[in-house]
Amino acid sequence: MRRTPKLGGLPGRVRRSALVRSETSSSNSCLERPAERSVANKRFLRDMAGIDFNALRNTITMEEVLNQLGFQPVSRTGDQLHGPCLVHGSSSPDSKTFSVNVRMGRYYCHKCQSKGNHLELWAAVHKLAIYDAAVDLCRDLGRDVPWITRW
């Protein structure tokens, strides 16, 4: 194994100019300088449309999502609904593995351990990323997507 010459009293160090030269000559983006990466990230974020997820969660209720998905509860206790899981697709229509608290807007499946809010439920059922699920849910409900207008 060949070691680089001693620089600054520390053995095995590579000169800083050699690193910069190898970074700029390489086509691999993970070796870019931090300043170049940050400019590329800012350009990407500027061109990408953002969704105001808080506004979306506040305007769409869990009941609307459950109705859209066709959920039929087997039992109800106060704000808690129980029925077959929409995520993993329970084989029995009388199953109570899926639990939803409509007041809190949270769900949990005791079999597949899927859990979250109504937007995450829509994403899990349709196997979408959260961003795509938000756009898809708004489209299905006939609502405008709450876009972020400024960063």
Domain locations along the chain: 16-47, 53-141
Render each residue's pLDDT in the chain as its tens digit; 151 residues: 555 555 544 455 444 444 444 444 444 444 445 555 555 555 555 556 789 999 999 999 999 999 999 999 999 999 999 999 988 887 777 888 899 999 999 999 999 999 999 999 999 999 999 999 999 999 999 999 999 877 6
**Domain 53-141's class?**
alpha beta
Rg from Cα positions in the chain: 25
Angle, helices 130-141 vs 62-69, to 10°: value is 80
From the DSSP assignment, how many helices (H) and strands (E) are in the chain? 6, 5
Give the helix, strand, coil percentages of the chain, each rounded to 5.
40, 15, 45
Q: What is the pLDDT of residue 141?
A: 95
The Cα-based distances of 128 to 44, 52, 132, 145 in angstroms read 21, 18, 6, 16
What is the predicted pLDDT for the residue at 16?
46
Q: What is the per-residue pLDDT for 20?
A: 43
pLDDT of residue 59: 94
Spatial CA neighbour of 151 closest among 8, 26, 42, 16: 42
- DSSP state letters, 34-50: HHHHHHHHHHHHHHSPP
In this predicted structure, what is the pLDDT of residue 17? 44
Round to whole Å and give the CA distance between 67 and 60.
12
Decide: helix, strand or coil at residue 51. Answer: strand
